[in-house]
Amino acid sequence: MTTPTTQAQKTLYEKDFYLWLQTTAELLKNQRLDQIDWENLIEEIESMGRSERKEIKSRLIILLEHLLKLSYWESEKEYNSRGWRNTIIEQRRQIELTLEDSPSLKTVLSESFLDCYQKARMDTIQKTQLSSNLLPSEPPFTLTEVLNPQYFPQSLQM
């Protein structure tokens, strides 16, 4: 593979991202560091980190939303609880797989749990049209419970 100069690498980044990735990987393997497009490489690595954070938080929000539905949406529980449980199981699995690859993201879950709960609560209220008084403003379950594959809440409605 012919390796371009740094300026050519920057142009390649704009014109053919996949080829830029392949070329950059090849340059790194061959330790041709003087030809690396460092600016875009750093940007891509930072972007990957942001993407991982966003992904795990998004999965936590979906998981919390379905736990809330299972706990509080009594009128739909009979018809939808199986689907909600399936979604809970799948989101837990995806979070677990992500944490296997990137254990440091567990900190992101801890730090963002309350914010994710608030987002899940608002989404649940909007999607179900349940009264905002019905869903607690503070999480009715802990992060440990939320991530526990054996945990499925009983009805928490008052």
Please indicate, yes or no, if residue 77 is contained in any of the structural domains: yes
What is the pTM (predicted TM-score) of this model?
0.80
Structural domain of 116: 54-147
Residue 46 lies in a domain: no
| Total domain count, the chain | 2
- Segment 93-150, tens digit of pLDDT: 999 999 999 999 999 999 999 999 999 999 999 999 999 999 999 999 999 999 999 9
pLDDT band at 158 (very low <50, low <70, confident <90, very high): very low
143 and 66 belong to one structural domain:
yes
Residue 41 lies in a domain: no
Residue 90 lies in a domain: yes
Tokens of 133: 């008084």
Q: What is the pLDDT of residues 35-50, one digit of tens each?
A: 999 999 999 888 888 8
Are 18 and 72 in a shared domain? Answer: no
